[in-house]
Amino acid sequence: MSATKRGGPSVRRAALAWMTLILTLISLAAAAVAYEIDLADADRLLDEELRLIAFYAGPGLSARSPRGHVYDGNHEVLIQVRDPSGALVYTSDPGIAIPPPPSPGFGQARRGDERWRSFLTVEGVNAVQVSQRVSPRQSLARTAALEASLPILMTIPLGWIVVAWGFGQMLNSLSRLAGTIAARGVESHTPIDLTDVPAEFTTLVEAMNALIGRWRLSLDQQKQFLSDAAHELRTPLTALRLQIDLLQSDRAGRTELDAALPELARGAGRASTLVDQLLRMARYESGDRPSESADVDIAALVLACMADFVTLAESKEIDLGLVCSEPARLRGVERDFHLLVANLIENAVRYTPRGGVVDIGVRRDGDSVVVEVADTGGGIPEDLLPRVFDRFFRAPGLVAEGTGLGLAICRAIARRHGLSLALRNSPGRGLVATVRGPAVTTPASASEAARTA
């Protein structure tokens, strides 16, 4: 048996990757800033050292700092003293001559391929100049800055570990929540308790609770449907059983047989009709989108449906008419549309009293096709209108026979095809059933619309 395939990319890995990347970038940026700051600080310290040497230095002094440190060959400083005329009166290295800055203070000069950093100050009548090669200064400053930045860089791996541990702790709460949900039995329809759910997962759990609520409602509806179906089937089956018992009894003669056979046929027909409609309900409420869709001429379809009820309408002297102002087409399964319209027409004809009127209209309303079936049957009480689409619902006082599934099937067909179905009372007349759906624009109608625009 193959294992269940896992879902999409790991949230844990993606989150850790992003958090690690952000942490690394921030740490590198902090290290770079610290490096630049420490580099500038080291450069200022070296400048300050040049200034102090110039302050303490004089003719005949060796190149020593105030602390007595003798600079090595790489980091040595050059001390030069000039008289007011600019003549060199002292130098710590006769082999090197560095031109002084143009004014007292810091400056830079080049000797061959080397750059020198100098500080010039006037002590009495003489000018004291202290110079140092730039390359060893930069080496010292970079070493000091790198030593200051290194601890920040060393914290990056530690930060990775802390982030991974913290994120793991956060996901543990999700794992505990998953365990709680997995431990629930299939018979448990109660919402998940939000008391110990982390705030970040509350929205997810609330959505799951909403799904549980819809599932519970669906189960309750299915249970009620099965109960109602069993109740509705019990009546014709009981009648069939009684007629069969009568025929099987010793007292059954020709008269009883002639009376029982029509009742037997009616009971079987009613049971067959109910079972057929139950199967239709199950098919239309499955939620599957129609796979055999086509463009359906609604006016022609309505005419075909009307033909099925002309005899019934004539027997009740009902005026059955159609008004169609322009071509109208809907996308869907023709047999489903036929059943939908036929049920609406049948209800209108059956519940309209003798001598009444049933008008059917097909029209375009913008980008929609509208089919209306209006009768003069007196309508339905307003408080019962929301319930007429319920399965096995029959309005009190209606004498026409039916299973109570016709309008429920109509609603299921409408939903399956993305149509709207509504009932309303027309004051002083009767009931109006309205079906509305997106119109299909044919090339001919499109060109006609372009000419009239």
* Most confidently predicted of 100-104, 377-381, 435-439: 435-439
Average pLDDT over residues 111-130: 82
Question: Hey, what are 99's tokens?
Answer: 């031109």
Average pLDDT over residues 101-128: 83
Q: What is the pLDDT of residue 449?
A: 43
For 3, phi then psi, to 5°, come to -75, 155
Q: What is the pLDDT of residue 255?
A: 66
Residue 170's pLDDT band (cuts 50, 70, 90):
confident
210 pLDDT more than 80: yes
Residue 277's pLDDT band (cuts 50, 70, 90):
low
71 pLDDT more than 60: no
Lowest mean pLDDT segment, chosen from 6-20, 23-37, 143-157, 286-300: 6-20
Q: What is the pLDDT of residue 275?
A: 67
The pLDDT tens digits for 244-269 are 666 666 555 666 666 666 766 666 66
Query: Between residues 37 and 287, which one has the greater pLDDT?
Result: 37
- Average pLDDT value for the chain: 76
- Whole-number Cα distances in Å, 233 to 273, 392, 401: 10, 11, 14
**What residues form DSSP beta bridges with 120?**
105, 129
Query: Between residues 275 and 93, which one has the greater pLDDT?
Result: 93
Helices (H), 285-418: 298-307, 310-315, 334-351, 406-416
Query: Between residues 206 and 452, which one has the greater pLDDT?
Result: 206
Query: Between residues 433 and 142, which one has the greater pLDDT?
Result: 433
Q: How far is CA 263 from the centre of its chain?
A: 58
pTM exceeding 0.75: no
- List the domains of the chain with CATH numbers: 8-181 (no CATH), 200-284 (1.10.287.130), 294-452 (3.30.565.10)
Q: What is the pLDDT of residue 6?
A: 57
